[in-house]
Amino acid sequence: MRVAIITETFLPKVDGIVKVTCLLLDHLAKRGIDAMVIAPRYGANQQYNDVPVCSLPSLSFPFYPEARMGFATLDLYRDLAEFNPDVAHLFHPMMTGIPTMGMLKWMEVPTVTSFHLDYARMANQFKVGLFDLGFTRPILEELTKNVFNWADYSLAPSKLIQSQMQELGIADVGLWRRGVDATAFNPNFYSESMRHEMTDGHTNDHVLIYVGRLSDEKQIDHIRPALESVPNTRLVVVGDGPARPYLEQHFAGLPVKFMGYMRGERLSQAYASADVFVFPSRLETFGLVVVEAMAAGLPVVASRVGGVTDVVEEGKNGYTFDSGDVDNLVEGVRKIAVRHDNIKQMGSYARQYAETQSWDAMMDEVIDIYVDLIASKQRTVIAV
């Protein structure tokens, strides 16, 4: 089997989409399946292990400088034809994916799309001068519906997003659930030295941790009231992004430590050396970091976005709240932090759940979908 993976973002950029893409590529290699990646060019000599990467000419996205817009070329068509994929998987096709899907349709390659970014809802966050781009939401919703329906099959990362896609008018929507590497994220990575670093030596305090991009839609500033009202509580912020200068000012004078990007063992140690994972995001399709934190043995306090309600069992491994409901965010932190036994017991339940969510099982489900699409195409050819 040969699989073409088309994505709007790739290495060296680091985000949830890139993480899932790389995990899928690793799994395909493990199963002996050939793959190629088509993505906007983020730098010279893009490559991932032994997987060929077709880097498209690209420009920085005007309202989101960290992202790139890739442009399909005749060279891309030649690369696709040379690779001759049996199936193509498009990660939320837009600038790169839509013209590439046109090429794939011309080549009669079966296609599957997966939902990763809610562009329509994100439009409310962007402005041109004084003009809010929220008026583009109906246009983006119609575009999303048509593009996903153009594919042979579509995948949602959570039940909430699956329902929203169906309400939008997208047919044939399956689930591609998110997993976690319970070996890489594990309570055994607890490190006294890491806890000391994260707390500036105040290791006996309650340590809240946020991991992810620092941007407006993550609403990290909503954590401040928890620091102000729950005694002996500190916050560790892992990640970077455009909102960092504002957040550093917003939390000035409070016990908050900005750690920047962390990867590998240091990231595993950071999770495992904290007490509670707090995730107040306004907009997510799943929220990989939530399950990573649970695998590290942390109870979770998170807004009801993306896949959060799929994984958090209220009062057992965490608490959830409506996005923007700061009072219930604070109450969730208070309920967990009131006794050390709560942190330990709820963290144990979180770990138990995470151990059932292996990436291998999730990725094998996707491969089964590829096989079905290829078989369906072959049946159609025989029928003709």
Same domain, residue pair 350 and 363: no
Same domain, 211 and 104: no
Name which of 111, 191, 95 is nearest 151 in CA terms.
Answer: 111
- Check whether residue 137 and residue 252 sit in a common domain: no
- List the domain range (segments joined by +) for residue 8: 2-179+358-383
| Whether residues 304 and 370 fall in one domain | no
Our count of domains for the chain comes to 2
Q: DSSP assignment, residue 157?
A: S
pLDDT of the chain, 384 residues: tens digit per residue: 999 999 998 888 878 889 899 999 999 999 999 999 999 987 655 678 999 999 888 777 666 656 677 778 888 999 999 999 999 999 999 889 999 999 999 999 999 999 998 765 665 665 555 456 666 778 989 999 999 999 999 999 989 899 999 999 999 999 998 899 999 999 999 999 999 999 999 999 999 999 999 999 999 999 999 999 999 999 999 999 999 999 999 999 999 999 999 999 999 999 999 999 999 999 887 889 999 999 999 999 999 998 999 999 999 999 999 999 999 999 999 999 988 888 999 999 999 999 999 899 899 999 999 999 999 988 776 665
Q: Are residues 140 and 17 located together in one domain of the fold?
A: yes
CA–CA dist 244, 214 (Å, integer): 6
Do 346 and 372 share a domain, yes or no? Answer: no
Judge if 112 and 211 occupy the same domain.
no
Q: Determine if the peptide bond prior to 187 is cis (ω within 30°).
A: no
Residues 316 and 376 in one domain: no
Q: 146-149 contacts: CB < 8 A, separation 24 or more?
A: 147/93, 147/94, 147/97, 147/98, 147/101, 147/113, 148/113, 148/115, 148/173
Q: 102 and 42 in one domain?
A: yes
Paired residues of 55 in beta bridges: 39
Supply 221's token pair: 């500033």
SS3 state at 57: coil
Name the β-bridge partners of 37. Answer: 5, 53
Residue 82 burial by Cβ neighbours in a 10 Å radius (0-12, 13-18, 19+): exposed
CATH number at residue 254: 3.40.50.2000
Regarding whether 235 and 129 lie in a shared domain, the answer is no
* Neighbour count for residue 283 (Cβ, 10 Å): 19
Question: Cα(first)–Cα(last) distance of the chain, in Å?
Answer: 23
Instruction: Give which of 308, 275, 265, 313 is closest to 289, Cα–Cα.
Output: 308
| Backbone region of residue 227 per phi and psi (left: phi > 0; alpha: psi in -120 to 50; beta: other values) | alpha
Q: Are residues 193 and 298 in the same domain?
A: yes
For the record, the structure tokens of 95 come out as: 């600038």
Say what the pTM is: 0.80
Same domain, 350 and 362: no
Q: How far is CA 350 from the centre of its chain?
A: 19
